[in-house]
Copies of this chain bind each other. A is one copy, B any other.
Amino acid sequence: MQAVSSSPSFSLPNAQTATQQVSIALDDRSYSIAIGTGLLDEPALYASLPAATCALIVSNTTVAPLYAKRLQTILQQRYASVHVVALPDGEEYKTWETLNLIFDALLGHSCDRKTVLFALGGGVVGDMTGFAAASYMRGVPFVQVPTTLLAQVDSSVGGKTAINHPLGKNMIGAFYQPRLVLCDLTTLNTLPTRELSAGLAEVIKYGPIADMAFMDWLEAHMDALLARDVEALAHAVRRSCEIKAWVVGQDERESGLRAILNFGHTFGHAIEAGMGYGVWLHGEAVGAGMVMAAELSCRLGLVDASFVARLTTLVQRAGLPVRGPILDATDNAGRYLELMRVDKKAEGGEIRFVLIEVPGQAVMRAAPDALVREVIDTCCV
């Protein structure tokens, strides 16, 4: 979904910033996230990667023309053969058929089991490249080079990889950690505005679930973020990665705490699946989903209406929808409930919601169907 921006209005005065590092501590699967400008061309960052004969850059038809050649050039200093495969672009292609294009490329180029994969693109490219790396010859190393805000602050960090199934999002995948994540903020200059907003949804979520001081900061800096001020972006990406690293470091495989990162995602996944993958961007669905989850938290007596209003305003300022779509004209709430029951967090048919217990702290809870129906009826257009 990423394209060359039609208005080259993002060359701001402070277009450079010092590179920062965030560490993910997971024993022998630990790794660093590097955040800064111009990282794509910084040879020192690639020096610690595993030696191999072969590397494969996985990108999509939108991002590859922008950045694949640059990454290929720098990787050729380290790997004898560096191949590129460009997947079709969009959530609707996050399927086995597309994944198989990666395996076809690997086997077609006789890539052995030391081959290093590079995911160059957004969340879809990262999720599919990660799952391909987890599965090719039962596991090869991979590196995330996220070029969207959403991927930089969320999906490229923490090792969740997956493809979609017609009956549910991210149903087939693996927990598989990258060796390195390179967040080159310069690549965000080519991100369409709609995608920038979608990424901000995953930035905003870290406030309500973990850090209200960050929510204050976001309220103060939303205009700068939308204007792609590189210092503001650097702070938003770093703080998001720090919070995610803290959560993932405690619960890599989502047996408990990690599920809080899915704030807004239970409603959001229903929107994505109900509308057809790719109609709403993931971040857009999470935006409306967070408002719905906050509303449910309020109706369960956890937070007050002013918190819901505050979050709604921030989501709206980010350019995101704050109301869910009608998925079924006759029984809209029933359709949402049906779709949410196949969410991975559901257990024995019971939907587990991520709710805000107090601002800055999340909790996993079930909720009565009748109350959930009220929320859906209130929050959908």
Our pick among B107, B110, B344, B346 for the contact of A349 (Cβ within 8 Å) is: B110
Number of A residues, CB within 8 Å of B: 38
Our pick among B103, B139, B174 for the contact of A135 (Cβ within 8 Å) is: B174
Binary CB contact string for chain A from 92 to 108 against chain B (1 if under 8 A, 0 otherwise): 00001000100110011
Determine whether A112 belongs to the interface, using a CB cutoff of 8 Å to chain B.
yes
Complex Cα distance, B258 from A165, in Å, reads 34
Scan residues 128-172 of chain A and give those whose CB is less than 8 A from a CB of chain B: 134-139, 160-162, 165, 167-168, 171-172
Determine whether A373 belongs to the interface, using a CB cutoff of 8 Å to chain B.
no
Known: A96-B100, A112-B348, A348-B112. A139 touches B107 (CB 8 A): no
Determine whether A341 belongs to the interface, using a CB cutoff of 8 Å to chain B.
yes
The smallest beta-carbon distance between A178 and chain B, in angstroms, is 15
Scan residues 19-60 of chain A and give those whose CB is less than 8 A from a CB of chain B: 53-54
Complex Cα distance, B139 from A161, in Å, reads 12
Complex Cα distance, B80 from A347, in Å, reads 13
Complex Cα distance, B149 from A124, in Å, reads 42
Q: Do A138 and B103 touch (CB < 8 A)?
A: no
Determine whether A342 belongs to the interface, using a CB cutoff of 8 Å to chain B.
yes
CB neighbours of A96 from chain B (8 A): 96, 100
Residue among A100, A171, A341, A344 having the largest count of chain B Cβ atoms under 10 Å:
A171
CB neighbours of A348 from chain B (8 A): 53-54, 112
Scan residues 325-347 of chain A and give those whose CB is less than 8 A from a CB of chain B: 341-342, 344, 346-347
CB neighbours of A341 from chain B (8 A): 110
The smallest beta-carbon distance between A26 and chain B, in angstroms, is 15
Q: Do B110 and A347 touch (CB < 8 A)?
A: no
Determine whether A221 belongs to the interface, using a CB cutoff of 8 Å to chain B.
no
Complex Cα distance, B342 from A348, in Å, reads 44
CB neighbours of A347 from chain B (8 A): 53, 112-114
Our pick among B100, B136, B171 for the contact of A107 (Cβ within 8 Å) is: B171
Minimum CB distance partner of A114 in chain B: B347
Determine whether A83 belongs to the interface, using a CB cutoff of 8 Å to chain B.
no
CB neighbours of A134 from chain B (8 A): 174
Our pick among B107, B160, B161 for the contact of A165 (Cβ within 8 Å) is: B107
Determine whether A253 belongs to the interface, using a CB cutoff of 8 Å to chain B.
yes
Q: Do A167 and B108 touch (CB < 8 A)?
A: yes
CB neighbours of A54 from chain B (8 A): 348
Known: A96-B100, A112-B347, A346-B112. A168 touches B107 (CB 8 A): yes
The smallest beta-carbon distance between A211 and chain B, in angstroms, is 26
Complex Cα distance, B349 from A170, in Å, reads 35
CB neighbours of A167 from chain B (8 A): 104, 107-108
Scan residues 235-264 of chain A and give those whose CB is less than 8 A from a CB of chain B: 253-254
Minimum CB distance partner of A96 in chain B: B96
Complex Cα distance, B219 from A170, in Å, reads 51
The 9 A-B pairs of least Cβ separation, nearest first, read: A107-B167, A53-B348, A137-B344, A135-B172, A138-B173, A112-B347, A138-B175, A113-B344, A138-B174
In the assembled complex, 10 residue pairs joining A and B whose CB atoms fall closer than 8 Å, in A order, are: A53-B347, A104-B167, A107-B165, A110-B341, A112-B346, A135-B173, A138-B162, A138-B175, A138-B253, A139-B174
